[in-house]
C-alpha cells in the first residue's frame, strides 16, 4: 500500500472535526434508525427528521465517503458500521456519537490551545462546576453520558471477572459504577457475593430498578461522603477522570472505608507505548482538555496508590488494551 500523500493527510486531519460533527448530527437525528434493509432517499430522511434534504444528503455523503453509510439506488443504506448507530443494535454506539456532541466537550475543544499553555482543563471554564455539574443539571445529556459509559464498556465488561476472581469477596463495591454494567457482570460470575453500586444520586435514579437483595444502590459524592464498607472496591475508568490530587482524595476515601484484608481493583485503559492511533491515545487528550484527568501507566498508578495508603500493588493485563491494578490497604 502506498504511503498517504502528506498534503492530503494534513488536510483531512485538520478538518477532521467536520467528520466527527457529521457523525454526531446523524446520530442525534437517529438517521440509522430510519434505515432498514432498503436504501432511503435524502428527501425521505429529511422529511422525517425535519431537515433540509440537500444539507442532510451532503452530510450523509461525507459519512459514506468515510465508510459509515453506503450510497445505493439513489438513497442511503446501511454498512456493517452504520448498523452500530441504530438504537436497537445489541452493541449500539449511537449514544457514544451523541455524547461527543455535548456542548461542554465542544466548547472545551475550542480552548485546547489554552489547555496546552496552562495544562488546565477547560470544562470548568466553559460551564460552572464543569462536566459533572452540567450533567447533574441536564437530565437528557446525563442519560446519554451514562448510556455511553455502558456502551463503551460492553465488550470489556465480561473480561473483568474472567481476568480477576471475585468469588472470594462477600461484598463488592463499584465506586463511580455508573449504571452498574460492570457490577452486574461481576455478581453474575460470583453468585455468592453481594454488591453495592456507589455513584451520584442522579445517576442512580436512572437505574433504580436494579436494586435487589444482592445489589444495593448508594448515592453520594466520593469527595465528601463515607464510602460503603466492602471486601473489594472496583473503580473502572474513574481515576482517569481526575488529576493527581483529586485521584488521591478518591483513593484515600476508599482507604478509609476499606477493612483490613480488602482489595482495591482499578480497571483502566493503558496508554499505547510506542504511540499508535487508538482510542486510548485520543481519550488522554479528552481527559486533559475536559476534566484534567489522564491515562496513566502502571508506574504512575503505583506512585498514586502508595501516596494514598495502599501497598502490594500488581498489574493484571486483561486484554483489549486494558489492565487491572490490584492493591491492598498498607
Ligand X SMILES: C[S@@+](CC[C@H](N)C(=O)[O-])C[C@H]1O[C@@H](n2cnc3c(N)ncnc32)[C@H](O)[C@@H]1O
Name the residue nearer to ligand X (CB basis): 40 or 203: 203
Q: Which of 149, 173, 257, 283 binds ligand X (CB under 6 A)?
A: 149
CA–CA distance from 53 to each of 47, 57, 61 (Å)? 8, 6, 12
CA angle 249-254-259, nearest 5°?
Answer: 145
Binding residues among 59-78 for ligand X as defined by CB under 6 A? none
Which of 241, 248, 268, 284 is the binder for ligand X (CB under 6 A)? Answer: 241
HSE-CB at 212 with a 13 A cutoff on CA atoms is: 10
Note whether 29 and 83 are within 8 A (CB).
Answer: no
Q: Are 290 and 108 in contact (CB under 8 A)?
A: yes
- How many chain residues touch ligand X (CB under 6 A)? 16
169 binds ligand X (CB under 6 A): no
Binding mask 246-265 for ligand X (x = CB under 6 A): --------------------
Beta bridge partners of 45: none
Residue 203 in the binding site for ligand X (CB under 6 A): yes
166 or 222, CB closer to ligand X?
A: 222
Stretch that binds ligand X, among 62-70, 86-94, 216-224, 305-313 (CB under 6 A): 216-224
CA distance 151 to 33: 17
d(CA 161, CA 164): 5
Task: Say which of 89, 138, 202, 240 is annotated catalytic.
Answer: 240
Among 222, 233, 301, 310, binds ligand X (CB under 6 A): 222
Binding range to ligand X, per CB under 6 A, among 28-36, 103-111, 171-179, 322-330: 171-179
Q: Is 322 a catalytic residue?
A: no
Determine how many CB atoms are found less than 10 A away from the CB of residue 224.
8
The three three-digit cell numbers of residue 175, written as one number: 465506586
Q: Considering only CA atoms, which of 36, 178, 45, 31 is closest in space to residue 94?
A: 31
From 196-204, 275-283, 299-307, 314-322, give the range in contact with ligand X by CB under 6 A.
196-204
Give the nearest distance from C-beta 238 to ligand X in angstroms: 5
Beta bridge mates, 303: none
Binding site for ligand X (CB under 6 A): 132, 149, 153, 176-178, 199-200, 203, 221-223, 236-238, 241
The residues that are catalytic are 240
Amino acid at each position: 500500500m502506498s504511503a498517504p500523500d502528506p498534503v492530503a493527510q494534513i488536510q483531512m486531519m485538520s478538518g477532521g472535526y467536520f467528520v466527527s460533527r457529521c457523525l454526531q448530527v446523524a446520530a442525534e437525528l437517529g438517521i440509522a434508525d430510519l434505515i432498514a434493509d432498503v436504501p432511503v432517499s435524502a428527501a425521505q430522511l429529511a422529511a422525517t427528521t425535519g431537515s433540509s434534504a440537500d444539507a442532510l444528503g451532503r452530510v450523509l455523503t461525507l459519512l459514506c465517503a468515510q465508510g459509515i453509510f453506503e450510497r445505493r439506488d439513489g438513497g442511503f443504506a446501511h454498512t456493517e458500521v452504520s448498523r452500530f448507530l441504530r438504537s436497537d443494535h445489541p452493541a449500539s454506539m449511537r449514544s457514544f456519537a451523541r455524547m461527543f456532541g455535548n456542548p461542554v466537550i465542544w466548547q472545551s475543544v475550542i480552548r485546547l490551545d489554552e489547555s496546552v499553555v496552562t495544562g488546565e482543563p477547560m470544562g470548568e471554564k466553559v460551564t460552572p462546576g464543569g462536566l459533572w455539574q452540567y450533567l447533574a443539571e441536564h437530565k437528557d445529556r446525563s442519560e446519554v453520558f451514562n448510556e455511553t459509559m455502558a456502551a463503551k464498556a460492553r465488550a470489556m465488561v465480561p473480561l473483568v471477572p474472567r481476568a480477576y476472581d471475585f468469588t472470594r469477596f462477600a461484598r463488592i463495591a463499584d465506586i463511580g459504577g455508573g449504571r452498574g454494567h460492570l457490577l452486574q457482570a461481576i455478581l453474575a460470575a460470583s453468585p455468592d457475593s453481594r454488591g453495592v453500586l456507589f455513584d451520584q444520586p442522579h445517576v442512580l435514579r436512572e437505574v433504580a430498578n436494579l436494586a435487589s437483595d444482592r445489589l444495593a444502590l448508594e448515592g453520594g459524592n466520593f469527595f465528601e461522603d463515607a464510602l460503603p464498607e466492602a471486601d473489594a472496591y472496583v473503580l473502572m475508568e474513574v481515576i482517569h477522570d481526575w488529576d493527581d490530587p483529586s485521584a488521591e482524595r478518591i483513593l484515600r476515601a476508599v482507604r478509609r472505608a476499606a477493612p483490613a484484608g480488602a482489595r482495591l481493583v482499578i480497571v483502566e485503559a493503558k496508554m499505547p507505548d510506542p504511540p499508535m492511533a487508538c482510542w486510548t491515545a485520543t481519550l488522554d487528550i479528552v481527559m486533559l482538555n475536559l476534566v484534567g484527568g489522564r491515562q496513566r501507566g502502571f508506574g504512575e498508578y503505583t506512585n498514586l496508590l502508595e501516596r494514598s495508603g495502599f501497598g502490594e500493588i500488581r498489574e493484571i493485563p486483561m486484554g483489549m488494551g486494558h489492565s487491572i491494578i490490584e492493591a491492598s490497604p498498607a
